[in-house]
Amino acid sequence: MDPLNFQVSRPRGPREKLAGIFFTARLVDKLRASLPGGELNGYIPTAGFSALWAHYTKIDLDELRDVVARAASERDVEVWIEGRTVGIDRDLINGKMERYASDRMPAEMRELFEQLYPAELRERCARIFDLLDADDARLYSARA
**pLDDT tens figures, 106-140:** 888 888 889 889 999 999 999 999 999 999 999 89
- What's the whole-number mean pLDDT along residues 8-19? 97
Mean pLDDT (whole number) for 1-15: 96
pLDDT band at residue 142 under the 50/70/90 scheme:
low
Are the C-beta atoms of residues 14 and 132 closer than 8 Å to each other? yes
- Rounded CA-CA distance 15/24 in Å is 9
Question: Measuring CA to CA, how many Å separate 59 from each of 12, 52, 55, 65?
Answer: 20, 10, 7, 10
Look at residue 89 and tell me whether its pLDDT is greater than 90: yes
According to DSSP, residue 103 is labeled: G
Q: What is the pLDDT of residue 7?
A: 94
Q: Write out the H or E segment, with its range, that includes residue 49.
A: helix 49-57
| pLDDT range class, residue 104, cuts 50, 70, 90 | confident
Q: For the whole model, what pTM was predicted?
A: 0.94
Given this model, what pLDDT does residue 63 score? 98
